[in-house]
Chains A and B, each alone.
Chain A
Amino acid sequence: MPLLAQHGRYLNDSQHPSIGKPEAIAAGAKFFGGSCTGCHGPDGGGGARGPNLVHRSLWHPLSDEAIFQVIRKGVPGTDMPPTQLTDEQTWSLVAYIHALTGPASTNVIPGDAAAGRATYWGAKAGCSGCHAVLGQGGRLAPDLSNVGGSRPIAMIRESILEPAKDLFFLGNEAATVVLKNGQTLSGVARNRSNYSLQLVDTKGILHLISMTDVKELTLSASTPMPTDYGKRLSRVELRDLLAYLATLDSRPAAEKGGK
């Protein structure tokens, strides 16, 4: 998973004592909420004027020192202005941006996780029809058992609202295959080539198929994930759903870290 690998390297490179320090992150959050969200969005997910900081940091991580300098000096020729913050204040902002790009479960996410849980498992959102959490739910879409422990909240939000945007569905292509023996199987193609197809069907059963046995393969041109969650859910429901997803962590905090 290149996202995580890069993210891991980014975090491990952190040297400054503010990074990961709750007080600094909280102070940074105040600065961010006051001056940055207008362009970069409330969770760093980007807006009309400012880029998505979460994507930026995951794919092309800047060093902490470089982020510090960008905040201090701005980016000439763009809308990003220089700031007048002290060193300590600037570092707290760097620490907050760090936290935004870290796993959702390590941040304070607004919303009612219990209500979000009901939304997740309810019929209106219908998430569990395709996604599993600790083995409960469908097998067709990516496992969400650790989504809060592995993804920044801005990315989770984006995959709900714009699931087709970043080809997140590759490895989960909706597929229907008619075999030469007359059998028809429907599910997702976990992998495929001109020679073989690895298909998990709607019951969650894996089928290893040779393409020489296939009469017809039909693939969905886009993600099987519904693309109408922006309309289907209210703002509050979406907020609460995000709060619930942020709690999904395969290494609960209580178990982390040794003694």
Chain B
Amino acid sequence: MRHLLAFGLAFALGAVAQVRHDELAKGAGDDWLTYAGTYAGWRYSPLTQVTADNAKNLVPKWVYHVPGARGLQSSPIVYQGVMYVTSTNALTAIDARTGRRVWQYSDPRAQKAGVNRGAAIWGDRVYFTTSDNYLVALDRHSGVLIFNKKFADIAMGTTSTSAPLIARGKVIVGSSGGDSGMRGFIMALSADTGETLWKTYTIPAKGEKGAETWGNLIDYGGGAAWLSGTYDPQLNTLYWTTGNPWPDYNGDVRPGDNLYTCSLLALDLETGKMKWYFQFTPHDTHDWDAQSWPVLLDTEINGKPRKAVLHANRNGFFYALDRVTGEFLRATQLIDKVTWAKGIDAKGKPIQLPNIEPTPQGNWICPSVKGATNWMGQSYNPLTGLLYVLTLEQCGMYFRSSQEPQPMKNFSGGGATEEGGQVVLRALDPKTGKRAWEYPMTGTGRMWTGTVSTAGGVIFSGDDDGHFLALNAKNGKNLWHFNLGEMLTASPVIYSVDGKQYVAVASATAVFSFGLFEPAVGVDPPVIRLRK
């Protein structure tokens, strides 16, 4: 070789740190290793450098503009000072101290260019999915491709948008595309090879139990699994939510409850077998996917200690279930204005009001199609004992089409509008389901940012008008804000490098990272020797 570097032929990773179960199960710290920071879905960081007292000193540290991005929905993961951010069919590794790009992998040949909500990490690899259902594994240091493995066929109407969840070497992925007719599923793929380990459909096959809750359209029933779920390592159980039945707005063609749509599924990690299900919205006709996080929490509910799963639902109610058995424990109203049901009965079924179906002329129903909340990440803070949920007070018109349903042709059996509305960040007490405080925002219900909270007593989120903000986790008092100049479309994360705490968020086109103010230090240009 002409040059001086002795490039070793042998390549070995030796004693370099690897991400394994203990790191993932421990939850967030200096690193932010899963979509929700913890397996339990808390989006909580134990870091304490930024506090309610000094949050006023937060300043931007860097911005990384993601090439070609619009409406980034990625929740970054961070490991040992490197941030991994996904965009459409691409993953970028960024120096999390400086915002400098380290490497990027992109697959311009993917057959669809959809949104992507994030990456996952295991061993020395990072993983994400392409819009056309390939699981991509990359070396976390250099970005070299380890494998690119197709797990589902886009011709069957399914695409992929969610961040994979990795548990004990299994990469859990789900299906998107439920609004145009497909059969939803959740799959476990091998982190080593990408091979399929199990596949659990969210809609029964004809003849199976639950098939009696459908008419003839069962093959295209929907029930997409387009958001990452949560995981209980002790129970070895995955908690995954499912989307609406298809066609969205015309329920006449699918008589019955339409299992297992708009539901929470408890799946065995080893086999994918359904341990129990709970359907929030039977026979949904308002596109109220159950996609918001199942938050796992051991707490007292109705005076009894429980292993609970909490779920703020798009349909307007806030649920608590027993996560061992699936038993319904309690539901309270999440938003002020709900016009389709007057409450939830003792068994967990909605007490429906008359005349709530979409009509050809349009029916005015609350909440709107965007829902009382949506996939914006919630945060549970064990120090305040509160759950922080972005909610939307909004109603809309729901229309029904009488056209013959056509699967995979972008047909949803009608349509819906969202009109006006207000985003309110609400702190809920999981023990009672009642509100501790609320923070109303200015805007028109267009934001998609969730929350993250810290042991420093701070919540980070976005206003509904393009501001990034910090609130006091105890009382919701505003501490700090920064205008990002565009609507926030993803949820923030917390990490630390070299003893410095950062909070980062992907907005529409860029990733921003903030930390406490430090006086700048002038840096002399480096002395560089050139070697011929």
Which residues in A have their C-beta under 8 angstroms from that of B13? 203-205
8 Å CB contact of B530 from A143, A149, A221, A257: A221
> Number of B residues whose C-beta is below 8 Å from A?
55
How many Å lie between the Cα of A217 and that of B531 in the bound state? 10
Also in contact, A214 and B7, with CB within 8 A (given A132-B144, A204-B13, A250-B145):
no
Q: Is the CB of A220 within 8 A of B5?
A: yes
Q: Is the CB of B106 within 8 A of A1?
A: yes
How many Å lie between the Cα of A195 and that of B145 in the bound state? 29
How many Å lie between the Cα of A88 and that of B339 in the bound state? 66
Give the A-binding residues of B (Cβ under 8 A).
1-9, 11-14, 16, 68, 81-82, 95, 97-98, 100-103, 106-109, 111, 134, 139-148, 150, 153-155, 497, 521, 523, 525-532
How many Å lie between the Cα of A211 and that of B524 in the bound state? 9
Q: Is the CB of A128 within 8 A of B9?
A: yes
- A 158-213 contacts with B by CB, 8 A: 174, 176, 186-187, 190-191, 193-196, 198, 200, 202-206, 208, 210-212
Indicate whether A20 reaches chain B with its CB closer than 8 angstroms: no
Which residues in A have their C-beta under 8 angstroms from that of B6? 186, 202
8 Å CB contact of A129 from B9, B98, B150: B9
Q: Is the CB of B103 within 8 A of A226?
A: no
Centre residue among B11, B97, B497, B530 by max chain A CB count within 10 A:
B11
Indicate whether A42 reaches chain B with its CB closer than 8 angstroms: no
How many Å lie between the Cα of A129 and that of B155 in the bound state? 40
Q: Mind listing 8 A-B residue pairs with CB under 8 Å? A: A132-B142, A138-B9, A139-B142, A145-B145, A176-B5, A186-B6, A190-B142, A206-B102
Also in contact, A205 and B3, with CB within 8 A (given A8-B108, A193-B100, A214-B526):
no
Q: Is the CB of A194 within 8 A of B526?
A: yes
Which residues in A have their C-beta under 8 angstroms from that of B97? 196, 208, 210
Indicate whether A81 reaches chain B with its CB closer than 8 angstroms: no
How many Å lie between the Cα of A87 and that of B527 in the bound state? 61
How many Å lie between the Cα of A216 and that of B531 in the bound state? 13
Which residues in B have their C-beta under 8 angstroms from that of A138? 7-9, 11
Q: Is the CB of A208 within 8 A of B81?
A: yes
8 Å CB contact of A212 from B2, B146, B523: B523
Q: Is the CB of B529 within 8 A of A219?
A: yes
How many Å lie between the Cα of A228 and that of B4 in the bound state? 15
User: How close is A6's CB to chain B, nearest CB, in angstroms?
Assistant: 11
User: How close is B479's CB to chain A, nearest CB, in angstroms?
Assistant: 29
Indicate whether A61 reaches chain B with its CB closer than 8 angstroms: no
Also in contact, A139 and B139, with CB within 8 A (given A196-B98, A202-B6, A206-B82):
yes
Q: Is the CB of B145 within 8 A of A221?
A: no
Q: Is the CB of A217 within 8 A of B109?
A: no
Which residues in B have their C-beta under 8 angstroms from that of A250? 107, 145, 148
Which residues in A have their C-beta under 8 angstroms from that of B106? 1, 4
Q: How many A-B residue pairs have CB under 8 A?
A: 158
Which residues in B have their C-beta under 8 angstroms from that of A186? 5-6
The 3 residue pairs across chains A and B that have the minimum distance between CB atoms:
A258-B155, A206-B141, A145-B145
Q: Is the CB of B8 within 8 A of A203?
A: yes
How many Å lie between the Cα of A208 and that of B97 in the bound state? 9
Give the B-binding residues of A (Cβ under 8 A).
1, 4-5, 8, 126, 128-130, 132, 134-135, 137-140, 143, 145-146, 149, 174, 176, 186-187, 190-191, 193-196, 198, 200, 202-206, 208, 210-212, 214, 216-222, 224, 226-228, 250-251, 255, 257-259
8 Å CB contact of A218 from B16, B109, B529: B529
Which residues in A have their C-beta under 8 angstroms from that of B154? 258
Which residues in B have their C-beta under 8 angstroms from that of A206? 82, 102, 140-142
Which residues in A have their C-beta under 8 angstroms from that of B14? 203
Q: Is the CB of A203 within 8 A of B12?
A: yes
Q: Which residue in chain B gives the minimum CB-CB distance to A202?
A: B8
Q: Which residue in chain A gives the minimum CB-CB distance to B68?
A: A5
8 Å CB contact of A226 from B1, B95, B532: B1
Which residues in A have their C-beta under 8 angstroms from that of B101? 191
Which residues in B have their C-beta under 8 angstroms from that of A211? 523, 526
8 Å CB contact of B527 from A176, A202, A216: A216
Which residues in A have their C-beta under 8 angstroms from that of B145? 132, 134-135, 143, 145-146, 250
Centre residue among A5, A205, A208 by max chain B CB count within 10 A:
A208
Also in contact, A143 and B5, with CB within 8 A (given A8-B108, A190-B103, A191-B100):
no
How many Å lie between the Cα of A146 and that of B526 in the bound state? 36
Q: Which residue in chain B gives the minimum CB-CB distance to A135?
A: B146
How many Å lie between the Cα of A191 and that of B529 in the bound state? 17
Which residues in A have their C-beta under 8 angstroms from that of B111? 257-258
Centre residue among B81, B95, B107, B147 by max chain A CB count within 10 A:
B95
8 Å CB contact of A217 from B103, B146, B529: B529
Which residues in A have their C-beta under 8 angstroms from that of B4? 174, 176, 220
Which residues in A have their C-beta under 8 angstroms from that of B140? 206
User: How close is B205's CB to chain A, nearest CB, in angstroms?
Assistant: 19
Q: Is the CB of B141 within 8 A of A205?
A: yes
User: How close is B485's CB to chain A, nearest CB, in angstroms?
Assistant: 24
Which residues in B have their C-beta under 8 angstroms from that of A139? 11, 139, 141-142, 144
Which residues in B have their C-beta under 8 angstroms from that of A1? 106, 108
Q: Is the CB of A204 within 8 A of B102?
A: no
Q: Is the CB of A219 within 8 A of B139?
A: no
How many Å lie between the Cα of A149 and that of B110 in the bound state? 12
How many Å lie between the Cα of A178 and that of B129 in the bound state? 39
How many Å lie between the Cα of A216 and that of B109 in the bound state? 42
Instruction: A129-B7, A195-B98, A202-B8 given; name 20 further pairs at CB < 8 Å.
Output: A128-B9, A137-B11, A138-B11, A143-B142, A143-B143, A149-B109, A176-B5, A191-B95, A203-B8, A205-B13, A208-B95, A210-B97, A211-B523, A216-B527, A216-B529, A218-B531, A220-B530, A221-B530, A227-B2, A258-B154
